[in-house]
């Protein structure tokens, strides 16, 4: 997803660089001659474009930093670059699940503006530095810490919209996070455990399990001051499963690829918040443990 945003921002004449986890292993010539492949939505042929990697000076000069990472990498990434982030930079966290913000907020100055971005764009990583835009969606952003004036909110939204529409700014982004979390708590573990496409979630055999998951999430969210309606969540899960019926969920992809999943920040997050607030979450806890125990399917 990071490369998707890099591509679209670069094509709006924005001064943008990409910070990659492996770039320290690259030689000076490799850094200078780097390229990436991008296949636009519903196109067959890949485009090749030059890639500019981030250096410390780029981070220090950045007005906006977008972290498109797995949930469990967010805090480490912030810790590594914290000394280079200027206090006026807008830090945008883009990840699945919930939880990293609690760590991030303690790693940055108290006045640092921290936002979150939730996106429904589809993006497939074919190989390193080669992606396909597989689905058009939208992005929701909102403030988690710090202060932004109305003009700054509008300016940020317009800049991101000009790159990759549709982007909307929300005053109550935390409720949006919970809504997305509820969907992920259903679709991700069930598709990963059963090795099925998203659409199969709507099979009647999963109805009881889905209802248990959502009942627990509704109860836990209420203890955090977030009012979620059970029937609304049911409809949202069914709608997303239908809209992405042939898609392979990110968690299922991780399991199939032998990679770590974000389950600790999805159903695991519900378990932890439930435990903190004395709300039982047996189904979410069971799914959390079940995914942790999964072995790659060959």
Q: Consecutive 10-residue runs of the chain (298 residues): their mean pLDDT?
A: 96 93 89 96 96 95 96 96 96 96 95 96 91 93 97 97 97 96 98 97 98 98 97 96 91 93 97 98 98 76
Q: Would you state the structure tokens that stand for residue 133, as one six-digit string?
A: 């835009």
CA dist., res. 116 & res. 141, Å (int): 6
Looking at every residue in the chain, the average pLDDT score rounds to 95
Residue 108, CB-side half-sphere exposure with 13 Å CA sphere: 30
Active site includes 180?
yes
Contact 168, 140 (CB under 8 A): yes
Which residue in the block uniquely carries the two structure tokens 């609690």?
102
The answer to whether 2-171 and 175-292 have equal CATH topology is no
Q: Per CATH, which fold does 175-292 belong to?
A: 1.10.1040
Contact 119, 68 (CB under 8 A): no
Q: What are phi and psi of 120, to 5 degrees?
A: -115, 10
Q: CATH code for 2-171?
A: 3.40.50.720
Boundaries of every domain in the chain: 2-171, 175-292
Query: Which of the residues 180, 205, 239, 295 is marked catalytic?
Result: 180
Say what the pTM is.
0.94
Contact 164, 171 (CB under 8 A): no
């Amino acid at each position: 997803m990071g490369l998707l945003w890099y591509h679209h921002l670069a094509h709006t004449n924005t001064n943008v660089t990409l910070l990659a986890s492996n770039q320290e292993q690259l030689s000076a010539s490799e850094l200078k001659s780097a390229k990436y492949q991008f296949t636009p939505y519903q196109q067959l042929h890949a485009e090749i474009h030059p890639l500019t990697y981030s250096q410390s000076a780029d981070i220090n000069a950045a007005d906006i930093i977008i972290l498109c990472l797995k949930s469990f990498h967010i805090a480490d990434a912030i810790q590594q670059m914290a000394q280079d982030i200027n206090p006026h930079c807008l830090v945008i966290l883009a990840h699945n699940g919930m939880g990293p913000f609690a760590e991030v907020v303690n790693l940055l100055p108290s006045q640092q503006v921290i936002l979150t971005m939730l996106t429904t764009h589809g993006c497939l990583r074919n190989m390193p530095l080669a992606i396909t835009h597989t689905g058009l969606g939208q992005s929701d952003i909102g403030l988690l810490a710090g202060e932004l004036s109305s003009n700054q909110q509008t300016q940020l939204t317009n800049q991101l919209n000009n790159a990759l529409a549709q982007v909307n700014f929300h005053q109550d982004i935390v409720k949006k996070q919970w809504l997305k979390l509820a969907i992920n708590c259903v679709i991700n573990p069930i598709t990963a455990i059963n090795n099925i496409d998203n659409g199969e979630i709507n099979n009647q055999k999963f109805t009881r399990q889905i209802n248990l998951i959502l009942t627990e999430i509704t109860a836990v969210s209420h203890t955090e001051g977030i009012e979620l309606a059970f029937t609304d969540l049911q409809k949202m899960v069914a709608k997303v499963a239908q809209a992405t019926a042939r898609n392979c969920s990110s968690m299922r992809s991780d399991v199939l690829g032998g990679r770590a999943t974000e389950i600790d920040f999805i159903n695991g997050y519900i378990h932890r918040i439930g435990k903190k607030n004395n709300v039982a979450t047996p189904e979410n806890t069971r799914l959390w443990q079940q995914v942790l125990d999964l072995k790659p399917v060959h």
